Structure 1
Amino acid sequence: MICSAKRKVLDGLNRRYIYGRVPLLHTIIFLVEMAVAARLAAKFNTYYAERPVLTTMVTNAVLGGVADTVAQLITAFRTRRPPTSGDDFLSIEIPDLDKQKPPLFMAYGFFMAPVQFQWFGFLSRAFPLTKKNPTAPAFKRVAFDQFIFAPFGLACFFTYMTIAEGGGRRALTHKFRDVYLPTLKANFVLWPAVQILNFRVIPIQFQIPFVSTVGIAWTAYLSLTNSAEEV
């Protein structure tokens, strides 16, 4: 009975749009996610000192949820018709946005964080920055990260999302054929510059959160790419 009532409330919110363009439910989710992210940012050093891996996992999950919620808000805004003068502030519409995506992205960010944590630790040990020559090790880290981890990470992302959404081998083959290489090329445009700054300037405990923060835009792009391929 309670679950049914909650479902009705969520469905009702999901069918309401602010000014006919911005989905109310996803706006609420975004605000909640941002409040959690602000709380994590305020206490990050304390949490990281006690439990670095878990803190990284939770941070990745929250930022992944923010990114996909942003992607869905962008999609809704682009596809909704402009409101007419007679539309209400909250207009009721039939089409629903995908309510399963933010949890999927949050789960992916949560479980991928330990792999990232170990990878960044490996890079810092393999290519330590020195006062005499900090630039060369930073470039080596970027090269290893972009040519080894980036292709692996994108493969994990598209595989996870395809399987989690119920796709089989054929769907996965189409995903890699149609969007993997274009996305990897886009990765090479954005991330080398970001990672040079990350490895050269950002302290190691903030490197994954920094990547995840910049990655809000990147993950939103991945979400839009993944959704476009489904269509």
Structure 2
Amino acid sequence: MMRLKAYLKEGLNVAAVMGMGDAIAQLLFDKKPFDELDAGRTLRFGILGLVFVGPALRRWYLLLESRVPETYSPMRRGVTKMLVDQTLFAPPFTMAMSFLVPLANGEPIDRIRQRILDSYPSILVRNYMLWPAAQMLNFRFVPLPYQVLYAQFIALVWNCYLSLVLNS
């Protein structure tokens, strides 16, 4: 029961931040008036945070914590976690989001496939412009219970970008 509660807490935090990211993307970048905000799109993006992103990140960070030796210096531990994160987690996670966001918005599979072919490489390149430094700080300085939350505040900017690209 405690584990479920922890996953739910992470999921709710991530859902809120992802929803804010989508709303900001619509208001600031799509330049929609507040009364034309696509609340359904924001809700769907947030629900992905609740059921997929939050639980996936929590599980991933726990796995990293358990697999990277505590005997490493704090700096080596942070670098190792970041490298493993950006090598093993970032590419499939980014692919999953590139699939799930348009799927949640009702796009047909063939269109999603084409969207992934068109946008995934540039999304992944931009991922590597932001996340290695952010994750290095996260894994080096942020205590494990707050790592998902820290990542989601960085992700507020990232979610604006993802929402723009994946909802266009």
Larger radius of gyration: 1
Distance 1:167 1:218 in 2: 22
Percent of aligned pairs with the same amino acid: 27
Q: Which has the higher helix share?
A: 2
TM-score normalised to structure 2 length: 0.90
1:192-223 Cα offsets, whole Å, 9 max, x none, are 00000000000000000000011000000001
Structure 2: gaps of 5 or more residues: none
Conservation of the 8 A alpha-carbon contact between 1:68 and 1:105 = yes
Q: 2:43 matched to 1:56?
A: no
Partner of 2:121: 181
Conservation of the 8 A alpha-carbon contact between 1:71 and 1:224 = yes
Q: 2:13 matched to 1:73?
A: no
Bigger Cα displacement from structure 2, 57-66 vs 154-163: 154-163
TM-score normalised to structure 1 length: 0.66
Residue 100 of structure 1: SS of its match in structure 2? helix
Q: Which amino acid aligns with 1:222?
A: L
1:96-123 Cα offsets, whole Å, 9 max, x none, are 4433211111111001211211110010
Q: 2:145 matched to 1:191?
A: no
Q: How many residues align?
A: 166
Partner of 2:88: 148
Partner of 1:123: 64
Higher RCO (CA < 8 A, seq sep 6+): 2
Distance 1:58 1:184 in 2: 26
Give the alignment of 1:17-28 within 5 angstroms. none
Structure 1: gaps of 5 or more residues: 1-47, 81-89
